[in-house]
Amino acid sequence: MSRLIAAMSGGVDSAVAAARAVDAGHEVTGVHLALSRNPRSYRSGARGCCSIEDSMDARRAADAIGIPFYVWDMSEEFADEVVEDFIAEYEAGRTPNPCLRCNEKIKFAAVLDRALALGFDGVVTGHYAQVREGGGGLVEMHRAVDMAKDQSYVLGVLTQDQLRRSYFPLGGSTKPDVRLEAEARGIQVASKPDSHDICFVADGDNAGWLTEKLGPKPGVIVDESGQVLREHDGAYAFTIGQRRGLRLGVPADDGKPRFVLDIEPVSGTVTVGPRERLLVDALDGIKPLWCTDVPTGELDCTVQLRAHGKEHRARVRVEADGVRVELLDPAEGIAPGQACVIYEGTRVVGSATIARTHAAAADSHLPV
């Protein structure tokens, strides 16, 4: 039997994960993470994961399961490690994934560290992923059975030490089954909708939120020839691959839609062009984190480049300053700042932050 902290967001997944940990014979204590000292400043209602309503839902779920429950103030760590990082990355012209950063810095670093300091053995969460015993005394993280809910991408930042103390009871289940189980257990959040969008952007308007934080920083949108199409109030309102909301007014010569191809944060220049110019067939990753042993030589594998993106066949080579990824299946609209998560079959090898991409040859085909 282990003493576990159950990170309870107020949703159905974390509640059922905590209940299953109890059923497995563990001594479980529920903890809700207060990520803002003014929760109303973050997203409210069922669309978020850090509202006042979520805290109350988590407490009711803990009562139904019959476990102790506490609220841990993680607002300072969250602001420093997630919110400020999000702002800095957009200001630098990159596109971060705050959920991945929250898992790395908060849920499986700050929370786990505090749990261990208090005498607990590990953390149980409602993430859809699987941890298995591997060879050579290692543990492995694999994709969830329910691929539609698989969250191994945002967990690709976990180290071997963290994986040894992480419990994911939902990895072998489907979401409909989890909801039915919650209802059978009398957990009131059984039908609560999943959270969406970024929890600390209260109204879902990322561009407006960034403008409020960073202030207007005028620049221009240009085509590939350098012709100015219009002015804008901040390059951080755009991301690579964006099509909607460009408001260019002047159509392209061929009449086809245009997409954001490049963002230059110093001058504030946003370059747009045709969709086929979004294709990349290689990328360089920095700050690699390995879930298992560091690969040697060239690794034939697959990579996932977005939280809900498809896998791409790839060859990965570990270098002194990061990783080099050659994409056998070219990818579209990949932005610096996003994560590249590396897989061998269903096993997560590790991840890296995309530093730069390399355009595919002109005769490459767009992904279907």
Cβ(58)–Cβ(8) below 8 Å: yes
Instruction: Provide the phi-psi class of 93: left if phi over 0, else alpha when psi is between -120 and 50, else beta.
Output: left
**How far is it, in rounded angstroms, from Cα 20 to Cα 64?**
13
Sheet strands (E) in 99-138: 122-124, 129-133
**How far is it, in rounded angstroms, from Cα 222 to Cα 187?**
53
Interacting residues of 213 by C-beta distance below 8 A, sequence separation 6+: 87
Amino acid, res. 165:
R
Amino acid, res. 326:
E
In whole angstroms, how far apart are CA 40 and each of 37, 69, 267? 9, 22, 35
Q: For residue 4, give the nearest of 173, 174, 168 by alpha carbon.
A: 168
User: Across-strand partners of 286?
Assistant: 353
From the list 50, 99, 199, 301, the catalytic residue is: 199
Roughly how many angstroms between the first and final C-alpha of the chain, as a whole number?
49
From the list 49, 50, 99, 102, the catalytic residue is: 102
328 three-class SS: strand
Cβ(64)–Cβ(14) below 8 Å: no
The yes-or-no answer on residue 340 being catalytic is no
The yes-or-no answer on residue 50 being catalytic is no
**How far is it, in rounded angstroms, from Cα 288 to Cα 299?**
15
Interacting residues of 19 by C-beta distance below 8 A, sequence separation 6+: 65, 181, 185, 187
Catalytic residues: 102, 199
